[in-house]
Chain A
Amino acid sequence: MLALHAAWSPGRGLCFWAEDPARVAGGSRSRARGARPHPFAADHERLWAVAAALGATGGEGQAVLHLPSTAGPSGATREPVPSDAATVSAALAPWTVPVLELDAGVLLRSEPLPGEGGEFTVLRALGRLAADLVTRGRVLPAPAPDDDTPLGWRPVLQGPDLVAADAFAAALPPAVRAEALDGRPVADGVGPDPAELVTEALTALVDAEARHRLRSEPVPPALLRAAATGELEPGLARWEVVGAPHAGPARGTFRLTEIAVDDLGHAVDGEPRFWLEFSLQSAQDASLRVTAESIWRDAGSLRRWLDDPSEMLLAELGRAATIYPELTDALRVPRPTGMELDRAGTHHFLLHVAAPLDRAGFGVLLPSWWSEPARLGITANATGGAGPEGVVALRGRLRKEELVDFSWKLAVDGETLSDDEMRALVHAKAPLVFLRGRWVAVDPDRLRAGLEFLDRAPAEGTVGDVLTLHSAYHDDLPPEWAAPLPVEDVTAGGSLGALLSGAADAHLELLDDPPALEATLRPYQRRGVSWLAFLSGLRVGGVLADDMGLGKTLQVLALEAHERADPLPPTLLVAPTSVVGNWQREAARFTPGLRVLVHHGAGRTTGDLTAVLASADLVVTSYGTLTRDVAELSRHAFHRLVLDEAQLVKNNRSRAARAVRTIDAQHRLALTGTPVENRLAELWSIMDAVNPGLLGTVTAFRDRYAVPIERHGRSDVAKRLQGAVRPFLLRRVKTDRSVVDDLPDKIETVERCGLTAEQASLYQVVVDEMTETLSGLETAGREGIERRGKVLAALTKLKQVCDHPALLLHDGSALARRSGKLARVEEIVAEILAAGEKALLFTQFTEFGDALAPHLARRFGVEVLWLHGGTSRRARDTMVEAFQADDGSGPPLFLLSLKAGGTGLTLTAAQHVIHLDRWWNPAVEDQATDRAFRIGQKRTVQVRKLVCGGTVEERIDDLIEGKRALAGQVIGDGGDDPDWLTGLSTDELRRMVALGPGASTGDEDEVDDELDDDDAA
């Protein structure tokens, strides 16, 4: 097979020739212009055989080509080097080869043949550019080269086409321009100008392609005549100069690249070098960029774009030199094309030149690996310490005071450097180093400061130091720990490491369920308790911020049960008034072994509490009571302080917040169900309550975190804050992978609320009335239907009081702050809305709904749907549709009367169901609950049943939950009529409805409005 070659001869066009790799002499023996015949060039006959396959026509001829040749003994050349052999040590020598002068069209309309050399690759690509120009009409008629078709065509090169043509000139294989030029000494070996050759070839190709496409297009004879007689020429001459819109002014542009290979193509080893290439870029079309090399090579074609590209280039370089004086040296040559930069020069350019140049209007193109100066930081790793396996393996018994070894490292862009990498950085002549596959530049001053710190940094510290270093702000650290660079990461092994990384709940060794706990923990709850126990062992405060419904109460009780195998001082638990009773009952249910003292309400112990505290494990109080009794409570030492619904204490100047800080406890724990990490003011308050001082003062916190994150949207700062609080915050949401599998489809809880003083007194009035009435009937012997009616009426009244006093009084008075249950509802709704979720609220009292719907709407500023027996069918459908809106945009709260809304509807947009009052028959409630829990519900539904503690509601609840002997009667015929209740004797009834001690009436004025009081004034 022949090796096929092509040269472009100025004037003659495409010259096709071939060499025989077998070195069979075939070429003509004749010499052209004194050049020896090429010894193994193919003769015309063999060339024609190939050209026929290309479908080409043309003439025969000879060409003198300068080709790589072996150098003979005395410098005389012996023979050409075959094109497939290495030519490194070759010299150029002229050879006469037989050629076929082919029509340029052959490059446009033939398939590549085997054996074609690299010349064909480039020329065929040039043919594609020509065809593209014709397709886009970027051609103009040119004086015809022959008489057969008087209309010829030439390309119009503008903008990107000009740049493309220029790139072809740069890429043109030397072999294409290898023909010896007349009048040039052969030894010169310059060859024709590639830019001129490309223009010539492109013109021939465009002409061939345009003629080919017009081969069947009729030409008006008058046009032919005008062309033939030269009439068109003045007009066409005008076209030469018209219609070439300039791309406008250009700007100097600097492009930095790494020189991967040296001039000989050898990979560069040793010192890296970079090339700063000069170019001009069109101000209007950024894709138009011409390198200085092209500009100097330019034969004039670029002048169609710029008046004088070389002078514009020099002007731009001269202007740039005022910003970048080092440029001067690179300009001290006739044709500056760029400058080579060493490591130090590149570092300087990247850090101190690129930006000023850019600002001064120059283009700066930097390598993709370059983004900005690398961020230099410090990392610390804590290891060793007591125990055979080091500190960190000790289960739940790690102490803050324990000593650990510190090892400090430098980090670049958050990645810790290995010793080798650190050495490379230290020894680099300029702080530009190749790390992890890319170049990074570091500030030398900061590097020096960092290295100095590494020398003096503490080699030993405590576990507490590790935590402080990890989370405290740099300025708050004691001087010996204050690194001159940001501490990027603090790591440790084992459980301490897991804590720091925020993966503690997944990696801590799990505790067994405490034997004293009368419940089985779900797996994620067990992880939560283990985390709490670990923090407790460390004496480090924590925030348990699990989604509502995931069982924070149970986890805290389990922790207490776990720890109270040994005698301990009591734990003080502070909660909103509305849930004080709930804590008491949950503790009685899950940890009956714990001695619970409710220190709340008018009947609480006053004065010295030493005696009562000595006999308690868990002291439950409200924020209001804590505020009032703070002087006494702060005298005693507690094992733990637990702050329930801690997000409510967000005003750190309130009396409640200050009281919390005076309590003496070994361990502090906050519970919250809101996504506290996104509410910075709350986050600071809660963190500061459990780990005082950790996040600095509130003012400092605002400057360091709150303002940058909230006002400036700085995600890096947000990330840093998340990292800082990570060890102390555990939040699982219901949708977490690790939680969702553990969750049932439906979580049902009964929430106990307290009564306000108003409710309690009204309740007592109804009870007294009922007792009196029933006694009267009994005395009069009128029992049966009448008695039954009185009992039902009284029970209804009691339930109404539990909901709200206004229901009994029928006075349409304002709702706020008069009902413990309503207070709890508002808390729950606030959480739901904060989580962006939706809830169904059921009540059996239409009158309550009438008042509650507008109240909630006002309170939360959301639309509240209210569906009851009087709602029209159409209104009902509209409500359901709005609530179920696919995009979740509908109203978040849907209040329904149990009778009207309990059946038939599908309301799966709700993830929460709240039963405001209890029905006698649980089946009715379940039916209502099922509105949300139906096919189409993909999430866990949380069902809450609100019950006032110490009232008939709670006792009925106990019965329904099957905890009492009377349970069998509950599961009766399933009807709505509570025969089993009305059939009770008066005494039994009295016990049933009597106001119990658990009614937990608050202080006279107290529905938790003390939480946000601002008594700074």
Chain B
Amino acid sequence: MPPRRRRPTEPFREKFPEPGPDRFEGYGKRIAVEDGIAARSRRGAIGESWWSGRFLAVLEKLGVGGRLDRGKTYARAGQVVDLAIDPGEVVATVQGSRSEPYRARIGITTFADEAWEAVEGAFAADSWYAASLLGGTVPDDLEEVFARVGLSLFPTGAREMPMDCSCPDWSVPCKHLAAVAYLVAERFDDDPFLILRWRGRDRTTLLAGIRERRDDTGPAVTPLAQVVDRFWSAGGPLPDLGRPVPGNSEELLDQMPPLGVAVDGTDAREALRPFYRRFGL
């Protein structure tokens, strides 16, 4: 039995004993949601990849089996109204049996900028990580990159991952949090960059950082000193230009918007037209 916490934010909430299945019915039926976020998985496990599995394992270790199953049902039924994965937290709105939806949040410790810079440096030196992530997969050895700077990519336990929900259930996670977690797992399946975003670095920043540090790894241009042996001549085949294809020399001009300046009564663009006609002659 995991330690139960009272939520300090809602001190006046009615207290119920741990609800059994029969009494659970007393909460009434969940209110159906239109256009809710429904899990893709219709049966069995949710979360196909090993990395979303690592994330869900933290929840499963808490041993609240029944709630996880009900959360799964919620996730499949589309009870989650909205969900955002941001640096440091997942925030979601879940429709339960009460008219007012609950707010659920799964927090995470973000990594410091220095740590991310070290990770970006490692990514820049070894394109495999970025290639694999961009290709939609978390590379097997990604955790090692974080381990080298003393970090763990996945939370090691619930302590690193504070969860709370505005519902009356004392259990953590409640079925609402569980539903959110399952949907997050599917998001991770689809876009492994979201794990990194949750940990504090969004995709754009990360890739820009990698680019910047890649340039530090050396010049992209072949140094002259390396091509002394073919110094005076072409270093490869010249493109075959063929014969110029006679075509419409005004095609590009036609695609351009007006210049917004009148010349002799028409837009300046039309004043340029004779020049383009001349080019094609």
In whole angstroms, how far apart are the Cα atoms of A789 and B252 in the complex?
A: 99
Please measure, in the bound complex, the distance between the C-alpha atom of A242 and the C-alpha atom of B259, giving whole angstroms: 12
| Nearest-Cβ distance from residue A169 to partner chain B, whole angstroms | 9
Known contacts A136-B247, A190-B221; is A118 also within 8 Å of B232 by CB? yes
Minimum C-beta distance from B248 to chain A (A): 7
A238 — nearest CB in chain B belongs to which residue?
B257
Q: Is A222 an interface residue (CB 8 A)?
A: yes
A332–B255 CB distance below 8 A: no
Do residues A334 and B224 form an inter-chain contact, with CB atoms below 8 A? Answer: no
The 20 listed contacts between A and B (C-beta, < 8 Å) are A87-B229, A90-B228, A91-B228, A92-B224, A118-B233, A119-B232, A135-B280, A139-B279, A173-B234, A174-B228, A174-B232, A174-B235, A213-B278, A217-B275, A220-B263, A238-B257, A243-B252, A311-B207, A314-B135, A334-B214
| Interface residue ranges, A against B (CB under 8 Å) | 5, 66-68, 83, 87-88, 90-92, 117-119, 121-122, 125, 128-129, 131-132, 134-141, 156, 163-164, 167-168, 170-175, 177-178, 188-191, 193-194, 210, 213-214, 217, 220, 222-223, 226, 231-232, 234-236, 238-239, 242-243, 264-265, 296-297, 308, 310-311, 314-322, 328, 331-336
Q: Report the interface size class on chain B.
A: 35 or more
Known: A210-B279, A213-B278, A322-B135. A83 touches B127 (CB 8 A): no
A131 to B249, CA, bound (A): 12
The 8 A-B pairs with the shortest beta carbon distances in the complex, nearest first, are: A318-B135, A235-B259, A315-B134, A118-B233, A137-B249, A318-B131, A319-B135, A164-B239
Give complex CA distance A162, B24 in Å. 66
A712, chain B: closest CB distance, angstroms: 39
Residues in B neighbouring A210, C-beta threshold 8 A = 275, 279
Residue B112 CB within 8 A of the other chain: no
Contacts of B268 in A (CB 8 A): 223, 226, 232, 235
Which residues of B are found within 8 Å of A317, using beta-carbon distances? 127, 131, 135
Given A222-B263, A297-B220, A334-B125, 13 further pairs, Cβ under 8 A? A87-B229, A92-B224, A92-B228, A119-B232, A121-B238, A125-B238, A135-B244, A171-B236, A191-B224, A222-B271, A231-B261, A331-B132, A333-B127
Asked if A311 and B130 make an inter-chain contact with CB atoms under 8 angstroms apart, the answer reads yes
Q: Please measure, in the bound complex, the distance between the C-alpha atom of A919 and the C-alpha atom of B44, giving whole angstroms.
A: 95
Q: Are A328 and B229 in contact (CB under 8 A)?
A: no
Contacts of B264 in A (CB 8 A): 220, 222
- Which one of A265, A318, A321, A322 has the highest number of Cβ atoms from chain B below 10 Å of its Cβ? A318
Q: State the Cβ distance, A90 to closest chain B Cβ, in Å.
A: 5
Question: Taking CB as reference atom, which chain B residue is nearest A122?
Answer: B234
CB distance from A310 to the nearest CB of B (A): 7
Determine whether the beta carbon of A138 is less than 8 Å from that of B252.
yes
Known: A217-B274, A220-B263, A223-B271. A318 touches B231 (CB 8 A): no
Contacts of A336 in B (CB 8 A): 127, 131
- Closest-CB distance, B124 to chain A (whole angstroms): 6
The CB with the most chain B CB atoms within 10 A, among A136, A214, A231, A319, is that of A136
A129 touches B239 (CB 8 A): yes
CA of A139 to CA of B252 in the docked complex: distance in angstroms?
Answer: 8
- Are A242 and B255 closer than 8 Å at their CB atoms? yes
B230's contact among A174, A178, A189, A238, by CB below 8 Å, is which? A174
Of all chain A residues, the one with the shortest Cβ separation from B141 is A328
Tell me the minimal C-beta distance from B36 to chain A in angstroms.
31
A125-B241 CB under 8 A given contacts A92-B225, A135-B249, A234-B260 = yes
| A332 touching B233 in the complex, CB below 8 Å, given contacts A174-B227, A236-B259 | no
B26: interface (CB < 8 Å): no
B219–A173 contact, CB under 8 A? no
- By a CB distance below 8 angstroms, the chain B residues around A134 are 279
A320 to B, closest residue via Cβ: B135
A167 contacts B236, C-beta separation under 8 Å: yes
Query: Is residue B253 contacting chain A, with contact meaning CB distance below 8 A?
Result: yes
Q: Please tell me which one of the listed residues A68, A83, A331 contacts residue B131 in the complex, with CB atoms under 8 A apart.
A: A331
How many Å lie between the Cα of A68 and that of B231 in the bound state? 8
Q: How far is the CA of A132 from the CA of B231 in the complex (A)?
A: 28
How far apart are the CA atoms of A459 and B148 in the complex, in Å? Answer: 67
B 6-40 to A, binary, CB cutoff 8 A, 1 in contact else 0: 00000000000000000000000000000000000
Chain B's closest residue to A153 (CB) is B275
How far is A265 from B235 in the complex, measured between Cα atoms in Å? 12
Tally of contacts, chain A with chain B, CB under 8 A: 225
B276 touches A173 (CB 8 A): no
Minimum CB distance partner of B125 in chain A: A334
User: B2 near A: Cβ within 8 Å?
Assistant: no
B157 part of interface (Cβ distance < 8 Å)? no
Enumerate chain B residues within 8 angstroms of A333, measured Cβ to Cβ: 125-127
- B95 in contact (CB, < 8 A): no
Taking the closest CB of chain B, its distance from the CB of A299, in whole angstroms, is 9
Within 8 Å CB of A239, what residues of B? 256-257, 259
Provide the bound-state CA to CA distance between A336 and B135, in Å: 15
Name B200-243 residues within 8 Å CB distance of A.
Answer: 207, 211, 214, 217-221, 223-225, 227-239, 241
A66 CB contacts on chain B under 8 angstroms: 224
B residues 103-135 touching A (CB-CB < 8 Å)? 124-128, 130-135
Measured between C-beta atoms, what is the minimum distance from A733 to chain B in Å?
48
Q: Which residue of B lies closest to A227 (CB)?
A: B268
Complex alpha-carbon distance, A214 and B264, angstroms: 20
A321's partner among B132, B223, B259 (CB-CB below 8 A) is B132
> Would B133 and A140 count as touching, CB distance under 8 A?
no
Interface residue from A83, A167, A175, A213 paired with B238 (Cβ < 8 Å): A167
A129 touches B241 (CB 8 A): yes
Contact check, A318 vs B232: say whether CB atoms are below 8 A apart. no
Looking at the complex, which one of A119, A177, A314 makes contact with B130 (CB distance below 8 Å)?
Answer: A314
Say whether, besides A134-B279, A315-B135, A334-B124, A220 and B239 are in contact (CB < 8 Å).
Answer: no
Contact for B223 among A132, A191, A314, A334, CB less than 8 A: A191
Question: Which of the residues A118, A163, A178, A334 comes within 8 Å of B217, measured between beta carbons?
Answer: A334
Q: Are A335 and B127 in contact (CB under 8 A)?
A: yes
CB distance from B60 to the nearest CB of A (A): 27
Q: What chain B residues lie within 8 Å of A331 (beta carbons)?
A: 126-128, 131-132
Which of B231, B249, B250, B257 interacts with A173 by CB under 8 Å?
Answer: B231
How far apart sit A137 and B249, CA to CA, in the bound complex (Å)? Answer: 4
A311 touches B221 (CB 8 A): no
Contacts of B223 in A (CB 8 A): 188-191
CA distance A325 to B229 in the complex (A): 36
A232: which of B132, B217, B239, B261 is its contact (CB, 8 Å)? B261
Contacts of A135 in B (CB 8 A): 244, 249, 279-280
- Asked if A137 contacts B221 (CB within 8 A), the reply is no
Residue contact B231 to A137, C-beta cutoff 8 Å: no
Bound CA span A170–B234, Å: 8
| A328 in contact with B128 (CB, 8 Å) | yes
Report the nearest A residue to B223, measured CB to CB. A190
Q: Are B232 and A173 neighbours in the complex by a CB distance under 8 Å?
A: yes
B239 shortest CB reach to chain A, Å: 4
Decide yes or no whether B93 CB sits under 8 A from chain A: no
Interchain nearest-CB distance for A455 vs B (Å): 45
Neighbouring B residues of A129 by C-beta, 8 Å = 239, 241
Q: Is the CB of B239 within 8 A of A83?
A: no
Shortest CB-to-CB span from A673 to chain B, Å, is: 57
Establish whether residues A121 and B234, one from each chain, have CB atoms under 8 Å apart when the complex forms.
yes
Q: Which residue of A lies closest to B260 (CB)?
A: A235
A334 contact from B218, B232, B259, B280, Cβ within 8 A: B218
Most chain A CB within 10 A, of B132, B245, B248, B280, is at B132
Q: How far is the CB of A126 from chain B (nearest CB, A)?
A: 9
Does B258 have its Cβ within 8 Å of any Cβ on chain A? yes
**Given A137-B252, A171-B234, A171-B235: A318 in contact with B134 (beta carbons within 8 A):** yes
Q: A173-B231, A173-B233 are in contact. Are A242 and B256 (CB under 8 A)?
A: yes
Contact in complex: A164, B241 (CB < 8 Å): yes
Closest chain A CB from B214 CB (angstroms): 5
Known A-B contacts A220-B271, A242-B255, A297-B221; the reply to A334 vs B127 at CB < 8 A is: yes
Q: How far, in Å, is B135 (CB) from chain A's closest CB?
A: 2
Complex interface: chain B residues within 8 A of A334 (CB): 124-127, 214, 217-218
